């Protein structure tokens, strides 16, 4: 077993080097890029504003190229500011710099805002004429995705006002949430821990530590619940106003359009998962209670290691080799791309006070490269998180060949590469484990990860839906939000759990509710999709599967889910598709029961 102290020593973990973006906040390169982007945006507005309908296709194509170039500069600036801020959200100077860059970039981009607004006012015949030119035809997928918002577009003046107000509206509330969470400390074991450290203790082998951490989390979050309720109520009301002006039929509609997925497909996913709560979470957690020798589990035991788990910890080097080995067994190209993140300091791994909790992959811009943030503490789940975020990173590099406007992937498909990377890593670990006890522990851990990805995220989606619908009738108290939270948690996790009073405050720390309303179903979408994809791979029914898979990632945002999945014989619009993915999880639970 790896020695625990050395496994997670922060001085052995890599920190990212952001100099590929800019050397420092005061660098001349950054100042030059701001000035260049400002002049280019003003010139762009002068040349093209109110003229698109008169242009020929070649000139329109040149405008698209210039718009993409300006976007790349602005994206580089904001990526640097965001990553610098995420490394220490509690640092007021970084917060000030981040806010300053947001305001400057918003000012500059206000000069290019007209472009997409005018594109959406072009009639179909005019756009077809412009797309006849090869220079413009390349951007047809991006234009297709922009124009799905045509009927929800406001007047130019209103759009510009909303654009300018963003930095003192939505973005300011986001910053308040982030900085509040970063500054919170949770007294546990005689120490004041960050939220990431406290949440990590919920999977400790010591039940007393889990309980102390859970109680401390609930108490501190509860003390701050009025502030988090104010943030939630304000952003939810702001979204309702925006949705009403834009004539979106329901709160989820904008997210579904952005994800290039039809409402009925998302509805089918959510319904399929909720219909399987009993076969999934209820059944598994009843089995887990038996392993613990109890009739009911306390909520802090949801992610507890099994009683005979030896709490194996991995060093950073071991985690790297496991993940890259799994990637390489599938595709040498995939391993080579993943290795670049480790060889070039594109990962920030240590836990630090003030550092953004959780994990993410930031694509930056295609002219640079992605960066990964994780809070690595050496657990098996941390290895899986590394595999997950590295999957995002590999995807972002491959899709970068599409350019700034078309490399972005809808959230539903963005989670495909990350979850697939997790699955490859899990299968590699499972196949080399010969100890039946360890295999059962690993299989149970994977089931719990899948339940957290599918059941928990659909429960989150259900919770958001209830909050957004009820907010339309008036402001919700912290207590009422807590009641809705308890309702969906009880429904999804089942009767095996005992929820104490403070658990009603746990909704407060979920950042997706604040930053990206209705993002969460993308995790379930990706997990079920990957289960079906991996089944096709394992079954050997798809020729040249790795090559087709990497081609799917290279497509970025150019293709919709139907076209991307067709080479694998899959169709997400078919209701049976979701059941096929859920059956993989159910099969794992069947195997655990047999064990």
pLDDT at 9: 54
Pairing of strands 191-193, 186-188: antiparallel
Cβ 492 vs Cβ 205: under 8 Å: no
Nearest to 512 by CA among 415, 447, 387: 415
Burial of 160 (0-12, 13-18, 19+ CB in 10 A): middle
Instruction: Give SS3 for 193.
Output: strand
Rg (CA), the chain: 24
pLDDT at 233: 98
Residues 6 or more apart whose CB falls under 8 angstroms from that of 332 comprise: none
Nearest to 529 by CA among 428, 374, 410, 403: 410
Measured distance CA(91)–CA(193) in Å, rounded: 17
Cβ 104 vs Cβ 373: under 8 Å: no
Cβ 572 vs Cβ 561: under 8 Å: yes
Burial of 320 (0-12, 13-18, 19+ CB in 10 A): buried
Measured distance CA(210)–CA(213) in Å, rounded: 5
Helices 57-87 & 28-48, crossing angle to 10 degrees?
A: 150
Please give the distance of CA 391 from its chain centroid, rounded to a whole number: 12
Local structure of residue 546 (DSSP, 8 states): H
Cβ 458 vs Cβ 270: under 8 Å: yes
pLDDT at 1: 31
- For residue 293 the two structure tokens come to 């020798």
Average pLDDT per run of 10 along the chain, which is 595 residues long? 42 91 97 98 97 96 98 98 95 95 96 97 96 95 94 95 94 95 95 92 93 98 98 98 96 92 88 95 97 96 87 90 97 98 97 90 96 94 94 97 92 86 92 86 91 95 98 97 98 96 97 94 89 87 93 92 87 82 92 88
pLDDT at 595: 79
pLDDT at 572: 81
Pairing of strands 360-362, 371-373: antiparallel
Measured distance CA(577)–CA(96) in Å, rounded: 47
- For residue 458 the two structure tokens come to 């659909």
pLDDT at 293: 95
Cβ 397 vs Cβ 108: under 8 Å: no
pLDDT at 311: 65
Sign of CA dihedral 548, 551, 557, 563: negative
H-helix segments, 88-206: 92-109, 113-121, 124-130, 134-137, 140-146, 156-165, 170-183, 195-200
Helix (H) or strand (E) holding 347: strand 347-348
Measured distance CA(433)–CA(440) in Å, rounded: 10
Instruction: Give SS3 for 54.
Output: helix
- Annotate 478-534 with DSSP letters as a single string: HHHHHHHHHHHHHHHH-TTEE--GGGGGGGGG-THHHHSTT-THHHHHHHHHHHHHH
Local structure of residue 201 (DSSP, 8 states): G
- Annotate 403-435 with DSSP letters as a single string: -TTT----HHHHHHHHHHHHHHHHHHHHHH---
Q: Which domains does the chain have, with CATH numbers?
A: 18-168 (1.20.140.70)
Measured distance CA(182)–CA(176) in Å, rounded: 10
Instruction: Give SS3 for 283.
Output: helix
**How would you classify residue 574: left for phi > 0, otherwise alpha for psi between -120 and 50, otherwise beta?**
beta
Q: Which residues of 462-484 are buried (b: 16+ CB within 10 A; e: fewer)?
A: bbbbbbbeebeeeebebeebbeb
Residues 6 or more apart whose CB falls under 8 angstroms from that of 152 comprise: 246, 247, 248, 254, 257
């Amino acid at each position: 077993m790896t020695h625990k102290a050395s496994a997670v020593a922060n001085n052995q973990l890599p920190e990212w080097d952001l100099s590929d973006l800019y050397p420092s906040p005061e660098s001349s390169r950054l100042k030059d890029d701001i000035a260049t982007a400002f002049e280019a945006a003003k010139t762009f507005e002068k040349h093209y504003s109110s003229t698109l309908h008169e242009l020929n296709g070649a000139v329109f194509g040149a405008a698209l190229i210039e718009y993409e170039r300006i976007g790349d500069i602005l994206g580089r600036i904001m990526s640097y500011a965001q990553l610098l801020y995420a490394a220490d959200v509690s640092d007021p100077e970084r917060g000030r710099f981040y806010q300053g860059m947001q305001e400057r970039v918003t000012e500059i981009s206000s000069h290019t805002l007209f472009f997409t607004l005018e594109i959406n006012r072009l009639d179909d015949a005019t756009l077809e004429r412009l797309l006849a030119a090869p220079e413009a035809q390349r951007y047809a997928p991006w234009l297709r995705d922009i124009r799905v918002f045509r009927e929800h577009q406001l007047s130019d003046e209103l759009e510009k006002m909303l654009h300018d107000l963003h930095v003192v509206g939505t973005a300011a509330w986001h910053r308040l949430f982030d900085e509040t969470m970063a500054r919170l400390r949770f007294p546990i074991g005689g120490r004041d821990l960050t939220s990431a450290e406290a949440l990590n203790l919920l999977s400790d082998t010591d039940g007393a530590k889990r309980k102390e951490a859970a109680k401390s989390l609930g108490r501190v979050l509860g003390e701050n619940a009025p502030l988090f309720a104010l943030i939630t109520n304000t952003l939810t009301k702001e979204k309702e106003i925006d949705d009403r002006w834009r004539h979106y039929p329901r709160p989820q509609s904008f997210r579904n359009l952005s994800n290039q997925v039809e409402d009925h497909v998302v509805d089918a996913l959510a319904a399929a998962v909720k219909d399987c709560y009993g076969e999934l979470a209820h059944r598994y957690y009843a089995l887990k209670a038996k392993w613990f020798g109890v009739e009911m589990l306390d909520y802090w035991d949801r992610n507890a290691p099994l009683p005979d788990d030896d709490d194996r910890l991995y060093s950073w080097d071991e985690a790297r080799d496991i993940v890259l080995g799994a990637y390489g067994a599938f595709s040498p190209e995939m391993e080579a791309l993943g290795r670049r993140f480790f060889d070039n300091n594109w990962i920030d791994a240590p836990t630090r006070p003030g550092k953004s909790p959780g994990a993410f992959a930031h694509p930056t811009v295609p002219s640079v490269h992605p960066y990964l943030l994780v809070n690595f503490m050496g657990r098996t789940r941390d290895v899986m998180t590394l595999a997950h975020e590295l999957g995002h990173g590999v995807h972002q590099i491959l899709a970068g060949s599409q350019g700034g406007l078309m490399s972005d992937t809808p959230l539903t498909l963005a989670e495909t590469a990350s979850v697939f990377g997790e699955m490859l890593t899990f299968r590699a670990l499972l196949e080399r484990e010969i100890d039946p006890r360890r295999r059962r522990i690993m299989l149970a851990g994977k089931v719990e990860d899948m339940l957290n990805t599918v059941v928990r995220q659909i429960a989150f989606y259900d919770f958001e839906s209830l909050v957004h619908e009820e907010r339309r009738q008036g402001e919700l108290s912290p207590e009422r939000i807590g009641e809705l939270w308890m309702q969906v948690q009880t429904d999804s996790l089942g009767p095996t759990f005992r929820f104490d009073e403070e658990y009603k405050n746990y909704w407060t720390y979920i950042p997706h509710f604040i930053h990206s309303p209705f993002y969460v179903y993308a995790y379930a979408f990706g997990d079920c999709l990957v289960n079906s994809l991996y089944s096709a791979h394992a079954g050997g029914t798809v020729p040249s599967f790795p090559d087709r898979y990497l081609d799917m990632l290279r497509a970025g945002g150019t293709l919709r889910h139907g076209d991307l999945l067709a080479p694998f014989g899959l169709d997400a619009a078919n209701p049976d598709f979701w059941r096929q993915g859920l059956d993989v999880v159910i099969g794992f639970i069947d195997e655990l029961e047999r064990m």
